[in-house]
Amino acid sequence: MTMNTQGRPTRADSAASAGVETFTGNKALQIEEALSFEIGDLARTGVDLPEPKGVNDRLGGLNRRKNSIGLPGLTEPETMRHFVRLSQKNYAIDMGPFPLGSCTMKHNPRLNEKVARMPGFADLHPLTPPAAAQGALELIDTLAYWLKELTGMPAVAMSPKAGAHGELCGMMAIKAAIVARGEGDKRTRVLAPESSHGTNPATAVQCGFIVDAIPADKTGRVDLAAMKEKLGDDVAGIMVTNPNTCGLFERDIRAIADAIHEAGGYFYCDGANFNAIAGKVRPGDLGVDAMHINLHKTFSTPHGGGGPGAGPTVLSEALAPYAPVPYVVCEDGNYHLVETRRAAKAEGESAESFGRLTAFHGQMGMFTRALSYMMSHGKDGVRQAAEDAVLNANYVLARLKQEMTPAFEGYCMHEALFDDRFLKDTGVETIDFAKAMIDEGYHPMTMYFPLVVHGAMLIEPTESESKRELDLFCDALLSLAKRAKAGEADAFKAAPVHAPRRRLDETAAARKPVLRWTPGMAD
């Protein structure tokens, strides 16, 4: 294995050499970045403090350091460069298209950022007394109003901090409602389509339910007959994504809702794909009992690498009493927070709240960005964003099907799903195709999901890509498809050759992750 000056492999052993090694390990202007601890040295340091004089050791030596504390020790310019270079390691929506299906990676308008940085919102401490935070509470309440308006639902829990967290909120409300009915021990099963996002079954299991998978029909939608067969008095609810993870609208959604209600269960809708229908369809009209809204998807707040997202969860009349605390209430123009279950009981509104989900009130920075997006778009703008998202996805579908194989027939909603039939007998697999996209300067699409499609490639362009950008993307993918069919499998297996890293051992990374630096590690 070839090592660079930092003792890191410059190419994977198995990959064919593409002659891209350099003395430094750098590739053109892509700089190899070691950890600050590996390059640091306390002899060089960005700060220069005078020796302390005449300070008494008031703790009798107990506070005296025995060893070095192991700070990295870099000059100021070195520190600056280190962090700026690290910041450039991430591919980002501000650098190019991010076609990850189901994720709705759309442009984050700078207006949102400006609003989120207003000191009155940005500098607010979560423990500020409500009397001194009236504007912020009004903002939360206004956003809640529009979320309820857009979904046609009577209540919303604002505190969940991601889509998956919103699922937890909704399923905890369902569980609380079932326990309140005295059926907690009986209703133990939750139905979820085979194509569902992994967070759906994970959430159901987390809430103590058993997950029962429903097969898809030939058109990529929930098999209604198969679903009805699974209904019974042990079913707590169903979790369905609409539009679903194949990028298709569930035509039988009303029948699904009616059937689950008739069986005494609740309908959880995964709202991650709300971008395709916002302003067009109100989930409340479809019989939904609970649905999270990923503000970082539909309402353009940034996806934060595991960082601050927001997943407000709308609830039907049946589930609203179980909503978590805290929530904002407005009386005579004054906003206050209902913080505890006891206070909720006194309020007479939510006597059966399932309790508290998060420390505070939710992600204020995301609330300001989402409301800024909504207000700058207006009702017609939100609807047009959904229409354009669907139009863009269908444009991509129409162009790519010249060389690639759509998983299902007909139009799609906001994302286009392909399978790997077009790669049959080429020796190229979905993963190779995705790695070759990196060399072309594109972040790969969502691969191998949904599981109901063999070698799935799920592309969501969103409304924020221009036709020029979409054409370039389609041209690149069409050229790759042609190369795969022309017998260039070896080149695909070697890709990526232009990226800072080649193929990584993803299994080892998942099974034996090295998460902590220790001295001498790179040697």
Would you tell me which residues interact with ligand PLP (CB under 6 A)? 102-103, 162-164, 197, 199, 241, 245, 270, 272, 294, 309, 311
Helix axes 467-485, 430-439, angle to 10 degrees: 130
Q: Nearer to ligand PLP by C-beta: 451 or 522? A: 451
Give the C-alpha separation, 389 to 94, whole Å: 18
Give the C-alpha separation, 93 to 83, whole Å: 19
19 CB contacts (<8 Å, ≥6 apart)?
none
Q: How far is the CB of 43 from ligand PLP (least distance, A)?
A: 45
CB 194 within 8 A of CB 221: no
Instruction: Enter the tokens of residue 392.
Output: 């863009």
Q: How far is the CB of 198 from ligand PLP (least distance, A)?
A: 8
Helix axes 134-151, 364-400, angle to 10 degrees: 30
Q: How far is the CB of 161 from ligand PLP (least distance, A)?
A: 9
Instruction: Enter the tokens of residue 486.
Output: 């022309």
Q: How far is the CB of 164 from ligand PLP (least distance, A)?
A: 3
Instruction: Enter the tokens of residue 150.
Output: 């857009």
Q: How far is the CB of 200 from ligand PLP (least distance, A)?
A: 7
Q: 453: exposed, middle or buried (C-beta count within 10 Å: 0-12, 13-18, 19+)?
A: buried
10 CB contacts (<8 Å, ≥6 apart)?
2, 3, 4, 20, 21, 25
Q: How far is the CB of 179 from ligand PLP (least distance, A)?
A: 25
Q: Nearer to ligand PLP by C-beta: 109 or 304? A: 304
Q: How far is the CB of 302 from ligand PLP (least distance, A)?
A: 12
Q: Nearer to ligand PLP by C-beta: 72 or 309? A: 309
Q: How far is the CB of 99 from ligand PLP (least distance, A)?
A: 14
Q: Nearer to ligand PLP by C-beta: 164 or 417? A: 164
Q: Nearer to ligand PLP by C-beta: 137 or 246? A: 246
Among residues 282, 472, 246, 459, which one has the least CA distance to residue 382?
A: 282
Q: Nearer to ligand PLP by C-beta: 263 or 389? A: 389
Longest Cα–Cα distance in the chain? 84
Q: Nearer to ligand PLP by C-beta: 270 or 439? A: 270
Q: Nearer to ligand PLP by C-beta: 294 or 426? A: 294
Give the C-alpha separation, 177 to 321, whole Å: 9
Q: Nearer to ligand PLP by C-beta: 241 or 394? A: 241
Q: How far is the CB of 280 from ligand PLP (least distance, A)?
A: 18
Q: Nearer to ligand PLP by C-beta: 239 or 338? A: 239
| φ and ψ of 494, to 5 deg | -85, -20
Q: Nearer to ligand PLP by C-beta: 73 or 311? A: 311
Q: How far is the CB of 407 from ligand PLP (least distance, A)?
A: 16
Q: How far is the CB of 101 from ligand PLP (least distance, A)?
A: 8
Give the C-alpha separation, 138 to 119, whole Å: 16
CB 362 within 8 A of CB 165: no
Which residue is nearest to ligand PLP, using beta carbons? 163
The beta strands (E) that lie in 282-357 are given as 290-292, 313-315, 327-331, 334-338
Three-class HEC string of 170-191:
HHHHHHHHHHHCCCCCCCCEEE
| φ and ψ of 371, to 5 deg | -70, -35
Q: Nearer to ligand PLP by C-beta: 25 or 247? A: 247
Give the C-alpha separation, 479 to 112, whole Å: 37
Q: How far is the CB of 438 from ligand PLP (least distance, A)?
A: 22
CB 406 within 8 A of CB 440: no
Residue 73 falls in which region: left (phi positive, over 0), alpha (psi -120 to 50) or beta? left
Q: How far is the CB of 112 from ligand PLP (least distance, A)?
A: 17
Give the C-alpha separation, 190 to 234, whole Å: 9
Q: Nearer to ligand PLP by C-beta: 294 or 394? A: 294
Q: What is the DSSP letter of 216?
A: B
